[in-house]
C-alpha cells in the first residue's frame, strides 16, 4: 500500500474492492460541505451541487433525524461579490476577513433559499472551543437550536480569526461541532470519493480505502498534499485530523462525494459509499477530549524515561523528580505537552496536561523530590506538576 513516499505498508487493512460499508443508522448528524461544492471554481456560491445536498438534509429531517450543517464558502462568496477587486488564491488575512464579512450574509441567504424551515447562523472562534465556559455555552446553543427544529449552519468567524488563533479549516471545525453537539455521525462532504491508498491523479490504480479502524501515521501518509482547490483551506489531511478527533469521542466519521447525490442518499439506510472511519470502541471522556483536542499547548515539559513509564503504564501523576526540562513561556494553568527525551533522541510527545507550575518555577524544582519543593519555593501551589485528572496520555507504552 502506497504511503505517499513510494514505500509499501505491511499493516493489514480491509479489502480495497469493497464498494460499500454498513454503519449504524444515525440520529444526530453533522454534515460538513466543502468549498468545492458550495462555490465551484471559487466563483461564488452556486446551487450546482447544493440542491442534492439540501434534499438529503430535508429527507433526514423528515425521517426524524437531527442535522447540523457546517458550511464553507463565505470568503468565496465575498470575493465574487467584489467583482474581482480581490484576486483569488493566496489572499492576506485582512483580505480574507473582509471578504468573509461580505460573504457570510450571502452564504446564509443562499442556504435559506434551499429550505422551508428556519436556519440559524452559528459563528465559532478558537476561543469558543478552548475556553471551557464558552465551550459549554456553544454546546447549549446548538442543543437549543435543535430543540427548536432549526437547522444550525456553522462556520468559523473568519472576520476576526487569524492564522495563529483560528481553527484553520472547516473539517476540524466540523469535528469540534460534532463533539459539541454529541452527534453520533460526522459526514465530510467533498468532491472526491474518499480516502485513496495513493494519489489518484498520479496513480491510475489507486483504490478507495472503504474502512479505517485505527488512525495512525500510515493513514496520514496516504493524505498526500494540501488543499485541492483555491477556495479550499483544507485537504485530505485535515479530513483525517477531523476523523481522529471525532472517532476518539465515539462518532463515526465518513468522507463522501457530495457531487453524487446518490452517495449521500445511501446514508439514510446506513450505507457508506466512500470511506468510513469507525468510532472508538471506548470513547475518550468529554473533559479529556476537550483538553487534548481543543486546548492549545503553551509549551512542553520534558520528562525522563521513568516518569514516562509511570504516566503510560501506571496512570500516575507527574511529579517534580521526573521532570528534566521545560520549553516555552507557559504559566500555571496552561495546557502543555509532555515529552520524553532519552539517549539524545528527539523528544517524543506522550501526553498533554494542565500544569500546576509556570516554566520559571518548574525549571527551579525539576529533578527534586516532592518534599524539597516547598523549601525551594515558599509559595509552591502543589507537590504535583500535573495531576492525573488533568492529564491525557496520547501514546501507550
Domains and CATH numbers, the chain: 21-288 (3.40.1160.10), 297-393 (2.30.130.10)
Residue 380 pLDDT exceeds 80: yes
Q: Backbone phi, then psi, for 324, in 5-degree steps?
A: -115, -10
Three-state SS string over the chain comes to CECCCCCECCCCCCCCCCCCEECCCCCEEEEEECHHHHCHHHCCCCCCCHHHHHHHHHHHHHCCCEEEEEECCHHHHHHHHCCCCCCCCCCCHHHHHHHHHHHHHHHHHHHHHHCCCCEEEEEECHHHHHCHHHHHHHHHHHHHHHHCCCEEEEEECCCCCCCCCCCCCHHHHHHHHHHHCCCCEEEEEECCCCCECCCCCCCCCCCECCEECCCCHHHHHCCCCCCCCCCCCCCHHHHHHHHHHHHHCCCEEEEEECCCHHHHHHHHHCEECEEEECCCCCCCCHHHHHHHHCCCEEEEEEECHHHHHHHHHHCCCECHHHEEEEECCCCCCCEEEEEECCCCCCCEEEEEEECCCCHHHHHHHCCCCHHHHHHHCCCCCCCCCECHHHEEECCCC
Taking the C-alpha atoms of residue 115 and residue 118, their distance in angstroms, rounded to an integer, is 8
pLDDT at 329: 94
Question: How far apart, in whole angstroms, are the C-alpha atoms of residue 384 and residue 392?
Answer: 15
| Residue that the C-alpha cell 457508506 belongs to | 272
Instruction: Determine the pLDDT at residue 76.
Output: 84
Cell numbers at residue 346, please? Answer: 528527539
Q: Average pLDDT of 285-313? A: 91
Residue 223 confidence (pLDDT): 83
Torsion sign over Cα 359, 365, 366, 371? negative
Q: How confident is the model at residue 383, as a pLDDT? A: 85
pLDDT at 13 exceeding the cut of 60: no
pLDDT score recorded for residue 89: 60
Q: Pick the range with the lowest mean pLDDT from 76-80, 194-198, 277-281, 339-343.
A: 339-343
pLDDT of residue 382: 83
Residue pLDDT, tens place only, 236-258: 999 999 999 999 999 999 999 99
Span of 60-74, 195-209, 276-290 with lowest mean pLDDT:
195-209
Cα separations in angstroms, 38 against 31, 41, 172, 209, 258: 13, 10, 18, 25, 10
pLDDT at 345: 64
Amino acid at each position: 500500500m502506497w504511503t505517499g513516499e513510494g514505500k509499501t505498508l505491511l499493516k493489514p487493512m480491509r479489502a480495497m474492492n469493497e464498494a460499500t460499508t454498513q454503519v449504524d443508522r444515525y440520529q444526530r448528524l453533522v454534515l460538513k460541505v466543502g468549498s468545492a461544492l458550495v462555490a465551484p471554481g471559487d466563483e461564488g456560491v452556486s446551487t450546482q451541487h447544493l440542491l442534492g445536498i439540501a434534499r438529503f438534509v430535508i429527507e433526514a429531517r423528515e425521517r426524524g433525524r437531527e442535522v447540523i450543517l457546517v458550511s464553507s464558502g463565505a470568503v468565496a462568496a465575498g470575493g465574487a461579490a467584489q467583482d474581482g477587486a480581490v484576486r483569488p488564491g493566496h489572499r492576506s488575512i485582512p483580505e480574507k476577513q473582509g471578504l468573509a464579512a461580505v460573504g457570510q450574509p450571502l452564504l446564509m441567504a443562499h442556504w435559506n433559499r434551499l429550505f422551508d424551515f428556519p436556519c440559524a447562523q452559528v459563528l465559532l472562534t478558537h476561543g469558543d472551543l478552548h475556553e471551557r465556559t464558552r465551550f459549554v455555552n456553544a454546546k447549549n446553543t446548538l442543543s437549543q437550536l435543535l430543540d427548536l427544529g432549526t437547522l444550525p449552519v456553522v462556520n468559523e468567524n473568519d472576520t476576526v480569526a487569524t492564522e495563529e488563533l483560528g481553527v484553520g479549516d472547516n473539517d476540524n471545525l466540523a469535528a469540534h461541532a460534532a463533539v459539541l453537539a454529541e452527534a453520533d455521525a460526522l459526514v465530510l462532504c467533498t468532491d472526491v470519493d474518499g480516502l485513496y491508498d495513493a494519489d489518484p491523479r498520479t496513480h491510475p490504480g489507486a483504490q478507495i480505502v472503504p474502512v479505517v479502524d485505527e488512525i495512525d501515521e500510515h493513514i496520514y501518509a496516504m493524505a498526500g498534499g494540501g488543499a485541492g482547490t483555491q477556495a479550499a483551506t483544507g485537504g485530505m489531511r485535515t479530513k483525517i485530523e477531523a476523523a481522529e478527533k471525532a472517532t476518539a469521542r465515539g462518532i463515526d466519521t465518513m468522507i463522501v462525494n457530495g457531487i453524487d447525490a446518490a452517495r449521500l442518499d445511501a446514508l439514510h439506510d446506513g450505507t457508506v459509499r466512500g470511506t468510513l472511519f469507525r468510532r472508538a470502541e471506548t470513547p475518550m471522556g468529554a473533559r479529556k477530549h476537550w483538553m487534548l483536542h481543543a486546548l492549545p499547548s503553551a509549551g512542553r515539559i520534558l520528562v525522563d524515561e521513568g516518569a514516562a513509564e509511570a504516566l503510560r503504564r501506571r496512570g500516575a501523576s507527574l511529579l517534580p523528580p521526573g521532570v528534566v526540562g521545560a520549553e516555552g513561556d507557559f504559566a500555571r494553568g496552561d495546557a502543555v505537552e509532555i515529552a520524553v527525551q532519552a539517549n539524545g533522541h528527539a523528544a517524543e510527545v506522550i501526553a498533554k496536561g494542565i500544569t500546576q507550575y509556570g516554566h520559571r518555577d518548574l525549571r527551579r524544582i525539576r529533578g527534586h523530590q516532592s518534599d524539597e519543593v516547598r523549601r525551594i519555593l515558599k509559595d509552591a501551589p502543589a507537590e504535583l506538576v500535573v495531576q492525573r485528572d488533568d492529564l491525557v496520555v496520547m501514546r501507550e507504552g
